[in-house]
Structure 1
Amino acid sequence: MDKQKTGLRAKAPKSVISFLVAVFVLVSYHTAFAQQQERMVRISEIEIDPAFLEAYKTILAEESAASVKLEPGVIAIFPMYQKENPTSVRILELYASKTAYEQHLKTAHFLKYKTATLNMVKSLKLVDMGVIDVATMPLLFRKLKEDK
Structure 2
Amino acid sequence: MLIRIAEVEIAADYLNAYKKILQEEAEATVRLEPGVITIFPMYQKENLNHIRILEIYANQEAYAAHLKTPHFLKYKTSTQKMVKSLKLVDMQALDADLMNKIFLKLKL
Same-fold call, TM cutoff 0.5: yes
Corresponding residue for residue 89 of structure 2: 127
Give the Å deviation of 1:144.
2.5
- Residues 94-132 of structure 1: CA distance to partner in whole angstroms, max 9, x if unpaired? 000011000000000000000110000000000000111
Choose which of 59, 66, 79 in structure 1 pairs with 2:41: 79
Q: 2:105 aligned with 1:143, yes or no? A: yes
What RMSD in Å do the two structures reach over aligned CA positions?
Answer: 0.8
Structure 1 spans left out of the alignment, 5+ residues: 1-38
SS of corresponding position for 2:28: helix
AA in 2 matched with 1:123 = S
Q: Which amino acid aligns with 1:125?
A: K
TM-score by length of 1: 0.71
Of structures 1 and 2, the larger Rg is shown by: 1
Name the amino acid aligned to 2:59.
S
User: Per-residue displacement from partner, 1:30-82 (whole Å, max 9, x unpaired)?
Assistant: xxxxxxxxx00000000000000001000000000100110000000000000
What's the counterpart of residue 68 of structure 1?
A: 30
- Structure 2 residues not aligned, in runs of 5+: none
Displaced runs of 4 or more, over 4 A: none
Query: Where is the strand percentage greater, Structure 1 or Structure 2?
Result: 2
Kindly tell me the number of residue pairs found equivalent between the two proteins: 108
Task: Quote how far apart the aligned CAs of 1:138 are.
Answer: 1.5
Q: Percent identity?
A: 61
For residues 3 and 29 of structure 2, the distance between their equivalents in structure 1, rounded to whole angstroms, comes to 15
| Counterparts of 1:73 and 1:60, CA distance in 2 | 19
Q: Alignment partner for residue 96 of structure 1, among 58, 76, 81?
A: 58
Task: Name the one with the larger helix percent.
Answer: 1
Q: 1:53 maps to which residue?
A: 15
